[in-house]
Amino acid sequence: MDTVKVGIIICGRYKNCAGGKCLRALNNREGAFSIYKDKNIIICGYTICGGCPGGNIEYAPVEMKKNGVEVIHFATGMIIGYPPCQYIDYFREFINKKFELDVVYGTHPIPTSYYDTHKKMNYKRFPQWEKRTELILCDEKMRESYL
């Protein structure tokens, strides 16, 4: 079985997050980690973006790459937090071009409470909503399990 080495970058607002939902999704191959259903996954890095406007984005990927990271996941909180990260597309392009690392939007499935709030706020008005939530939207039962 192939192995993929992953790094996770979370929003600075959630700097005290212990990563429980992300690690659960990784272990169960749910949400964005479903793309690795036939692979072993090794976490080789976990850090915050550095807070707005993402000061750690310039430094963390190089350390992650030195530790073998092949792909970086932006945590679900960067995509569906209040407000969603306004720099996320720029961060993705920067990491891809500068460090030649793939970047995936999301980690764990969107919890129902966040999904419901964004739906009330007309989430489709946010740029790139479909692209960023493609792997983490999941079905209602899965969203409920990540409250």
Edge-to-edge strands, sheet with 102-105: 40-48, 3-10, 71-74, 102-105
What is the structure's pLDDT at 130?
86
Q: Where are the domains of the chain?
A: 3-144
Domain 3-144 sits in CATH 1.10.3470: no
Q: What's the pLDDT tens digit per position in 123-145? A: 767 768 889 999 999 999 999 99
- Residue 69 · residue 44 · CB < 8 Å: yes
- Residue 76 · residue 31 · CB < 8 Å: yes
Q: Rounded CA gap, 72 and 104, in Å? A: 6
Q: For the whole model, what pTM was predicted? A: 0.94
Q: What's the pLDDT tens digit per position in 63-105? A: 999 999 999 999 999 999 888 899 999 999 999 999 999 999 9
Q: Is 139 helix (H, G, I), strand (E, B) or coil?
A: coil
Neighbours of 100 (CB within 10 A): 9
Closest of 9, 42, 29 to residue 138, by C-alpha:
29
How is residue 126 annotated by DSSP? S
Q: Rounded CA gap, 63 and 7, in Å? A: 10
CA dihedral 47, 18, 104, 89 (to 10 degrees): -60
